[in-house]
Amino acid sequence: MPEVGASPAIEVLAGPEVEQIRPLLLDLLVEEQGHYPHRQLSRDEMERELVGPLRPAFEGENMVFAVRDGGEVVAFCWCVLFDPGTGLEAEIAEVYVAEPHRGRGLARALLRRAVALFHERGVTLGVVWTRADNPGAVRLYESAGFSPTTQLVLTWLPDGA
């Protein structure tokens, strides 16, 4: 694993390799659910929801960038590129770094790679979603060139879920 501040080796996961992010994706879901007013699921319940191989279902082209330590994926950034008919757009769907590997600049390096992809591909709009009460994520995304907008985003969650 590179030292803090060193550039980590970033690879693209494709096909069956995407399955290697499953443990991290579950960790992300478990950590994030506490911020929303719905029934809290156990890790086992979430695992059952993700039964079978991970199949990127976002419409468009899915790119999963990853960093390994000792062969194990310890951080990833999932990007989706799509054209709604008005030019190529992109979304950072998920970014996650395993707890013991945080503070080493892995998320920042992954986001730099994602933004480089956006430039390479001629993306006209790139977005990322986070909570306003997550200042670390806001700073991270702003450092990668994202900025807040005045657009109001409303969400819907099922009652009693």
- Judge whether residue 46 has pLDDT over 90: no
In a domain, 73, yes or no: yes
Instruction: Give the C-alpha separation, 66 to 152, whole Å.
Output: 31
Residue 110: strand, helix, or coil = helix
The structure's pTM equals 0.78
Q: Which range marks the domain in which residue 123 is found?
A: 11-143
pLDDT tens-digit series, residues 8-39:
999 999 999 999 998 898 888 778 776 666 66
CATH code, 131: 3.40.630.30
In a domain, 132, yes or no: yes
pLDDT tens-digit series, residues 75-115:
999 999 998 888 899 999 999 999 999 999 999 999 999 99
In a domain, 44, yes or no: yes
Sequence-separated contacts (24+) of 80-88 with Cβ below 8 Å: 80/56, 81/117, 81/121, 81/123, 82/58, 86/124, 87/124, 87/125, 88/121, 88/122, 88/123, 88/124
Total structural domains within the chain: 1
